[in-house]
Amino acid sequence: MANTNDKRILDLRAKIEQKKREIGKKERFAPLTNCQIEVDGNRINLHTLNRKQAIALLVKLHSLLNSAKKLGFEEEYELSGFKVADFVEDLQTKIRLLDKDIEQKKLDALEKQLHKLLSDDKKVELELDAIEGLLS
């Protein structure tokens, strides 16, 4: 019975590794702006926003940008010295990176949980394989 469960666990670990490869390496946030924006009298630092706050600000800035486009002032409209479109792009990038980070943490937690479920014999076998791989 343990072998059946170990096989299932190893298959699930392989799926987790595949998802990790799909996510890719952790990217560095390279903003177009200085990440400091003043909206409605409040100074906001994009680096300190959580996902929910970033989405709320993105929606607000996107609606301002759309209004500026309709009025023909898209290129002239700035907040805190930067084009609103640049802040929109920075927020979209930030949200994408936050999503990747959240997904990575979920996969890491699942991987740890699966490792705990492996039989002791299988854990020893995997450790020996890892050591053997390092020596060859």
Q: Give the mean pLDDT of the chain.
A: 92
CA–CA gap between residue 117 and residue 63 (Å, rounded) = 49
51 or 119, which is more confident? 51
Query: pLDDT confidence of 94, banded at 50, 70, 90?
Result: very high
pLDDT of 1 > 70? The answer is no
Residues 69-86: what's their mean pLDDT?
Answer: 93
Residues 79-91: what's their mean pLDDT?
Answer: 96
- The pLDDT value given to residue 4: 81
Q: What Å distances lie between residue 55 and 13, 61, 71, 92, CA to CA?
A: 32, 10, 24, 8
- The pLDDT value given to residue 2: 57
Tokens read off for 105: 């943490």
Query: pLDDT confidence of 74, banded at 50, 70, 90?
Result: confident
Q: In terms of Cα–Cα distance, which of 45, 3, 24, 1 is closest to 104?
A: 24
Residue 98 CB contacts under 8 Å (≥ 6 apart), including other chains? 50, 51, 54
Q: What's the burial of 94, exposed, middle or buried (CB within 10 Å: 0-12/13-18/19+)?
A: buried
CA–CA gap between residue 87 and residue 110 (Å, rounded) = 35
Measured in Å, how far apart are the chain's first and last C-alpha atoms? 32
pLDDT of 30 > 70? The answer is yes
Single-letter amino acid, residue 110: L
Q: Tell whether pTM > 0.75.
A: yes
Enumerate the domain spans of the chain.
2-135
Residues 54-62: what's their mean pLDDT?
Answer: 98
C-alpha torsion angle, residues 75, 51, 24, 86 (rounded to 10): 10
